[in-house]
Structure 1
Amino acid sequence: MTDFSSKIVIPTPAAMAQATEDGMLAKATKPWFEMFLLSLTGGAYIALGFLFFVTSQQGLGAPFPVGPAKVLGGVVFSVGLMLVVISGSDLFTGTTMTVMPLLSKRLGVGRFLGHWGVAIVGNFIGSVLVALLVLWAGTPSSNKSAWGLVVLNTTLAKVSLTWGHAFFLAVLANFAVCLAVWMANSGRSTADKILAIVGPIALFVASGFEHSVANMFMLPMGWLIKNFAPDTFWAGEAITKAGKTAADFDAITPGAIFFDNLIPVILGNIVGGAVFVGIYFWACYIRPAQRAKALEAAGAHAAR
């Protein structure tokens, strides 16, 4: 006979808010070296997701519909966040929600900022290591250089954004990413968490929003291809058919990568995650619960 007493119960939104705050506090108070190691894989796993995205976009020009191509890219990219969430890795865009325990005065400012710094550095190193492995594996030359051409075109488009566009696209990206993490926290199985992640991530990627950690892979990958791809890459059919040469991608420079994209995107991601999700849900659920508890304690004290 089925035992319905063991039925899984999805937590209420208020309980999820508290669970998210507790989870963010646990991440921010890990030993520094452990935090760094988990940040390395956070960057590496998002890089793998973007690698999958690039692979899915090869040759998807006319007459293939643009919308379905973008949605396909978003769905396959979501594998990156699935790996991050299930493995417990540390992703800077998600760590923006550590503002919740900060507001509850459970986390000091120094530890709060230190966690963000470690996450950014670790994510960047992990992302670039994957980019180097991809370059050394010769993947950019695959499918007659079509793979590398997708990276170059995407990188060029990203470094060509204005600061305003990059910032607001980043706000929207991390709004979606943190909502994906939030919903994944309600999952009670691996399948639940995966299903919760796919929709918001496909939404942000298909819409062309900007994610700082994803760009920590894509932009260095584009720069590496531009500067270190062999002559056989530039002689590939996809490159020659498109009429492209290395000179067409001269705008892809370290300065453009950092100052024209990563800085405004990191700032936008902070607003999208910390303000639109972390502070918002803290104000909706955590703060009222704290006030109610304080009032109850005051009433109990007065009754003595």
Structure 2
Amino acid sequence: MTANALETGARSPYAMAELGEQIALGKANKAVSKTLLLAIMAGMMISLAGVFYTTVSAGAGDMPYGMAKLIGGITFSMGLMAVVLCGGDLFTSSTLIAIPAASGKVSIPQMLKNWGVVYVGNLIGSLMIVWMIVYTDQWHGGHGEIGHSALYIANAKLSHSFGQALVLGILCNLMVCMAVWMSYSARAASGKMLAMVLPVAMFIAAGFEHSIANMYLLPVGLAIKSVAAPEFWAEIGKTPEYFSNITLDNILWMNLLPVTIGNIIGGSILIGLFNWGVFLKKH
């Protein structure tokens, strides 16, 4: 094999695990102020992908269900691409700090502190985008179909039981961290982007639950439901009662709490510790 092939070819799974541990260690050791800013940035990126997803899904009622979900999922993958390529700190992928923690290179309190700062930063960034979208009336686009799409997505996400939301959170971060992990195999930006498209599209199409995406998708639905005028409801042919699942209590206790727990399990254990045990654990 030539030197050029070694430089441009995919990394081996062992090399991917080593790189993953180095990246996670770097995240854990960053200053809190930098972590918070990068987390706010990541929250904004994921939320903007949520705007893209909601907009593309608007008026898709006549399209076959699976195709509409596939297109929405592909558009949403923009968010993870932006986070990975721009170095943002996203809570769901920060669960991979469990790898250096398992190696003894990061303490458990240090890992939990990072998760807390990143989670708060992601929430701040997400709510900033919610405010901008609602303030600018962007949701009125398409004769109200964008707002209708946002309400439909939020209402559906809040229809799960606590246990269902938790398991859907596990499945989601299994796919998100798999996407991030697969990106470690690539040396070029194009390869990293391509590796992330289908895992993200899959979790969106299947209806899995991502805590940080939901920090945008759920509050924007609640905000629209709260501020929409009678003319909007007449335009979409629905009433606020139709979206009865969209309440603050449901958002906090029936979605964000179980989904966050599930995301931690899916990312830290099913991807992080599994790969650590196979490739990095010293026997």
TM norm structure 2: 0.96
In the alignment, structure 2 segments of 5+ residues that lack a partner are none
Q: In structure 1, what is the Cα distance between the partners aligned to 2:85 and 2:3?
A: 27
Q: In structure 2, what is the Cα distance between the partners aligned to 1:245 and 1:186?
A: 49
Q: 1:90 aligns to what SS in structure 2?
A: coil
Residue identity opposite 1:80 in structure 2? G
Find out whether 1:251 has 2:249 as its counterpart: no
Partner of 2:10: 10
Q: In structure 2, what is the Cα distance between the partners aligned to 1:5 and 1:13?
A: 19
Q: In structure 2, what is the Cα distance between the partners aligned to 1:247 and 1:164?
A: 25
Instruction: Judge conservation of contact 2:45–2:82 (CA < 8 Å) in 1.
Output: yes
Partner of 1:225: 224
Partner of 1:34: 34
Partner of 1:263: 257
Q: In structure 1, what is the Cα distance between the partners aligned to 2:227 and 2:139?
A: 11
Query: 1:147-175, CA deviations, whole angstroms, 9 ceiling, x for partnerless residues?
Result: 00111111111112101111111111100
Instruction: Judge conservation of contact 2:11–2:184 (CA < 8 Å) in 1.
Output: no
Deviation of residue 231 (structure 1)? 4.1
Partner of 1:276: 270
**1:1-304 alignment runs, 5 A limit:** 4-7=2-5, 8-62=8-62, 64-236=63-235, 239-240=236-237, 244-287=238-281, 290-291=282-283
Deviation of residue 122 (structure 1)? 0.6
Instruction: Judge conservation of contact 2:91–2:212 (CA < 8 Å) in 1.
Output: yes
Deviation of residue 119 (structure 1)? 0.9
Q: 1:17 aligns to what SS in structure 2?
A: helix
Instruction: Judge conservation of contact 1:60–1:69 (CA < 8 Å) in 2.
Output: yes
Q: In structure 1, what is the Cα distance between the partners aligned to 2:240 and 2:178?
A: 39
Residue identity opposite 1:278 in structure 2? G
Q: In structure 2, what is the Cα distance between the partners aligned to 1:165 and 1:5?
A: 49
Q: In structure 2, what is the Cα distance between the partners aligned to 1:185 and 1:251?
A: 39
Q: In structure 2, what is the Cα distance between the partners aligned to 1:249 and 1:184?
A: 38
Deviation of residue 229 (structure 1)? 2.8
Deviation of residue 18 (structure 1)? 1.0
Q: In structure 1, what is the Cα distance between the partners aligned to 2:247 and 2:141?
A: 24
Deviation of residue 227 (structure 1)? 0.8
In the alignment, structure 1 segments of 5+ residues that lack a partner are 292-304
Q: 2:141 aligns to what SS in structure 1?
A: helix
Q: In structure 1, what is the Cα distance between the partners aligned to 2:243 and 2:201?
A: 28
Dislocated runs of 4+, deviation >6 Å:
none
Q: 2:143 aligns to what SS in structure 1?
A: helix
Query: 1:253-285, CA deviations, whole angstroms, 9 ceiling, x for partnerless residues?
Result: 111100010000001111111111000000000
Q: In structure 2, what is the Cα distance between the partners aligned to 1:166 and 1:196?
A: 26
Instruction: Judge conservation of contact 1:140–1:233 (CA < 8 Å) in 2.
Output: no
Q: In structure 2, what is the Cα distance between the partners aligned to 1:203 and 1:185?
A: 19
Q: In structure 1, what is the Cα distance between the partners aligned to 2:225 and 2:19?
A: 45
Per mean C-alpha deviation after superposition, the further-off stretch among 20-29 and 157-166 is 157-166
Q: 2:39 aligns to what SS in structure 1?
A: helix
Q: In structure 2, what is the Cα distance between the partners aligned to 1:280 and 1:145?
A: 45
Q: In structure 2, what is the Cα distance between the partners aligned to 1:140 and 1:12?
A: 45
Residue identity opposite 1:21 in structure 2? E
Q: In structure 1, what is the Cα distance between the partners aligned to 2:3 and 2:90?
A: 36
Instruction: Judge conservation of contact 1:56–1:73 (CA < 8 Å) in 2.
Output: yes
Q: Which has the larger radius of gyration?
A: 1
Instruction: Judge conservation of contact 2:74–2:197 (CA < 8 Å) in 1.
Output: yes
Partner of 1:299: none
Residue identity opposite 2:270 in structure 1? F
Q: In structure 2, what is the Cα distance between the partners aligned to 1:35 and 1:95?
A: 11
Q: Output the aligned Cα RMSD.
A: 1.2
Q: How many residues align?
A: 280
Q: In structure 2, what is the Cα distance between the partners aligned to 1:9 and 1:73?
A: 31
